[in-house]
Amino acid sequence: MMTKPILSLALAALVAPAVALAEQDYNEDLNARLPEEIRDAGSMIAVTNGSFPPYEFVEGREHTGATADLAQEIAQILRVEITHATVAGLPALLTGIGANRYQFAMGPVGDFPKRRDANDFVDWVQEYVVFAVQAGNPEGIVSLDTTCGKRIAVMSGGSAERVILAQSEKCEAEGQPAIEVQSYTDQPSSILSVRSDRADAFFSSQAPLTYFVQQSEGALELSAVGQSNGFPSLVQGAVVPKDSPLGPVLRDAFQILMDNGTYEEIMTKWGLENNMIDAPGINLGEAL
């Protein structure tokens, strides 16, 4: 019964100070390159799978965060309206885009070759994957190799879930207890499982975990920072249907925001300056 108030307060505490963003010039060339159905409608639907602070905060129909700010600027460049829809879990997001129920997701979503059968990724950020644990790290989780027999929360269908499941198999092959993998459809529920001692750690992207740790008032801390943790490199981005002309259009819109300083301004506003990349690209991610 207390979950909703706790999560609402947590998300409210993470809202960045209001910063007026620059108005973007309309780019007629990019608008002309949009898929015909988007150009004719003058709008497109961006789908999300819930709050992913500080990139996305979803409270009812309100979407804020770095992703929402970037989407607002891209909408001005393309002169289209971007509306938002929310689904439960990453698999539903990827399937919905691949099936053309939604035009795209701003993300960021991890870009891996295995996800590209039905989707393309327009990468605009780099990420790192670490653990959020209770203060003092009572279970001593300092690396993947120390997770055997532990209760680890992950996002359902995400890349961290695949890594932790593979680690569990490694644990068993080495004669150690398997990992109890707990899969959740959203970030707030995952972090709450650690705070309520239903999980020993949450294994996920460092940027949102940093924010959740900051708002925990000393109840949580990060662990295994500065290690690869099963990810040789991790770029994330927007998601579009496979071979859609929308992909190159979004890439070029991101390039405009990088060139004119708006991308850096937004990323810095949300404390993401260490997650910036030099240039956007399509399908830049490597295999795990």
pLDDT confidence of residue 2: 30
Ranges of H-type helices in 44-202:
66-78, 90-98, 159-173, 187-195
Q: Are residues 122 and 133 in the same domain?
A: no
Confidence at residue 61, expressed as pLDDT on a 0 to 100 scale: 80
* Number of CB atoms found within 10 A of residue 137's CB: 18
Domain annotation covers residue 229: no
Is 208 among the domain residues? yes
287 domain residue, yes or no:
no
Single out the residue of 20, 245, 205 nearest to residue 125, CA to CA: 205
- Any domain includes 216: yes
Q: Are residues 116 and 246 in the same domain?
A: yes
Residues 79 and 146 in one domain: no
Q: Which residue has the tokens 């809202």?
A: 15
129/160 Cα distance (integer angstroms)? 8
User: Two tokens at 169?
Assistant: 């198999």
Q: Which two tokens stand for residue 74?
A: 């891209």
What letter does residue 106 receive in the DSSP assignment? E
pTM for this model (two decimals): 0.81
- Residues 190 and 148 both lie in one domain: yes
123 and 13 both lie in a single domain? yes
41 and 120 share one domain: yes
Whether 172 is in a domain gets the answer yes
Q: What is the pLDDT along the chain (288 residues), one digit of tens a residue?
A: 233 333 333 444 444 555 567 799 999 999 999 999 999 999 999 999 888 889 999 887 888 999 999 999 999 999 999 999 999 888 999 999 988 899 999 999 999 998 899 999 999 999 999 999 999 999 999 999 999 999 999 999 888 999 999 999 999 999 999 999 999 988 889 999 999 999 999 999 999 999 999 999 999 999 999 888 998 789 999 999 999 999 999 999 999 999 999 999 999 999 999 899 999 999 999 865
Query: Are 9 and 116 contained in the same domain?
Result: yes
Q: How far is 89 from 72, CA to CA, in rounded Å?
A: 24
Total Cβ atoms within 10 A of residue 236: 26
**pLDDT value at residue 18:** 55
Co-location of 114 and 239 in the same domain:
yes
CATH assignment of the domain containing 95: 3.40.190.10
Domain assignment of residue 21, yes or no: yes
Q: Are residues 216 and 243 in the same domain?
A: no
Has residue 279 been placed in a domain?
Answer: no
Instruction: Indicate if 7 and 66 belong to the same structural domain.
Output: yes
Q: In this structure, is residue 280 part of a structural domain?
A: no
Instruction: Determine the pLDDT at residue 288.
Output: 57
Give the total number of structural domains in the chain: 2
CA-based nearest residue to 39, from 21, 54, 57, 27: 27
Contacts of 130 (CB under 8 A, 6+ apart): 203, 204, 206, 209, 222, 223, 224, 225, 227, 229
Could you tell me if 102 and 157 lie in one domain?
no
Can you give the residue range of the structural domain that contains 47? 3-127+235-273
**Neighbouring residues of 259: CB distance < 8 A, sequence distance ≥ 6:** none
Check whether residue 26 and residue 104 sit in a common domain. yes
Which run of H or E residues covers position 10? helix 3-12
Domain boundary among 181, 203, 223: 223
pLDDT of residue 104: 98
